[in-house]
């Protein structure tokens, strides 16, 4: 449990904060690969957020997993990807509230502010939970690189009249969700 933090309703979304998604998001985008709110009323997962570079009203949400008991699993995945591709952009390790955490870019999703319910707040100082700037840069760089690859591949397949292939970089269908959010913003 991330015991030294609590939730607080948001009045304005700030980049680099940790937030929770509203159940309305899961109802609208019924993607089985989205990381869902767990049972028993707990608000997990929580997400690291940053703005989209093209549509500033779209935020990217990267789920955070406590890496403690799964650290070996994440290290193995990262090592295999680095050996094969020279780097791993789908999982970034860092620290949240002094605990090792995995930032699961492979499970990221785009949202608009209407679907963000709460900000994760530190109990000690009543400030939003934060991470090191170097970790923020690493997460955002990797996530933007992954999004670019997914977007370019999907657009290429659509243009060629091919069926859109199942993504192997990110589990949720982020291209379709993103397109729906863009439509919302343009209406």
Residue by residue, pLDDT tens for the chain (187 residues) are 454 555 555 445 667 789 888 989 999 998 888 887 654 455 567 899 999 999 999 999 999 988 776 778 899 999 999 999 999 999 999 998 888 999 999 999 999 999 998 888 888 888 888 899 999 999 999 999 999 999 999 999 989 998 887 777 899 999 999 999 999 999 8
Question: What is the radius of gyration, based on Cα positions, of the chain?
Answer: 16
Calpha distance 14→117 (Å, rounded): 13
Question: What domains, with CATH codes, occur in the chain?
Answer: 5-185 (3.10.129.130)
Q: How distant is the alpha carbon of residue 12 from its chain centre?
A: 18
Helix (H, G, I), strand (E, B) or coil at 77: helix
Cα–Cα dist 167/170, whole Å: 6
The pLDDT score that the predictor gives to residue 1 is: 44
pTM of the model: 0.87
Alpha-carbon distance 174 to 109, whole Å? 6
Contact 19, 119 (CB under 8 A): yes
pLDDT in tens, 96-120: 888 899 999 999 999 999 999 888 8
């Amino acid at each position: 449990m991330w015991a030294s933090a609590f939730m607080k309703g948001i009045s304005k979304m700030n980049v680099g904060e940790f937030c929770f998604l509203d159940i309305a998001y899961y109802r609208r985008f019924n993607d089985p690969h989205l990381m869902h709110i767990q049972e028993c009323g707990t608000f997990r997962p929580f997400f690291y957020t940053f703005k989209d570079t093209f549509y500033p009203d779209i935020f990217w949400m990267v789920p955070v997993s406590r890496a403690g008991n799964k650290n070996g699993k994440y290290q193995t995945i990262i090592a295999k990807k680095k050996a094969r591709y020279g780097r791993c952009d789908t999982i970034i390790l860092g620290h949240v509230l002094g605990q090792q955490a995995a930032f699961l870019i492979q499970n990221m999703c785009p949202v608009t502010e209407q679907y963000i319910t709460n900000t994760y707040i530190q109990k000690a100082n009543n400030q939003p939970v934060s991470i090191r700037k170097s970790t923020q840069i690493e997460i955002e760089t990797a996530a933007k690189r992954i999004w670019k690859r997914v977007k370019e591949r999907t657009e290429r397949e659509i243009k060629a009249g091919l069926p859109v292939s199942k993504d192997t970089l990110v589990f949720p269908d982020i291209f379709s969700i993103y397109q729906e959010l863009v439509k919302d913003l343009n209406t």
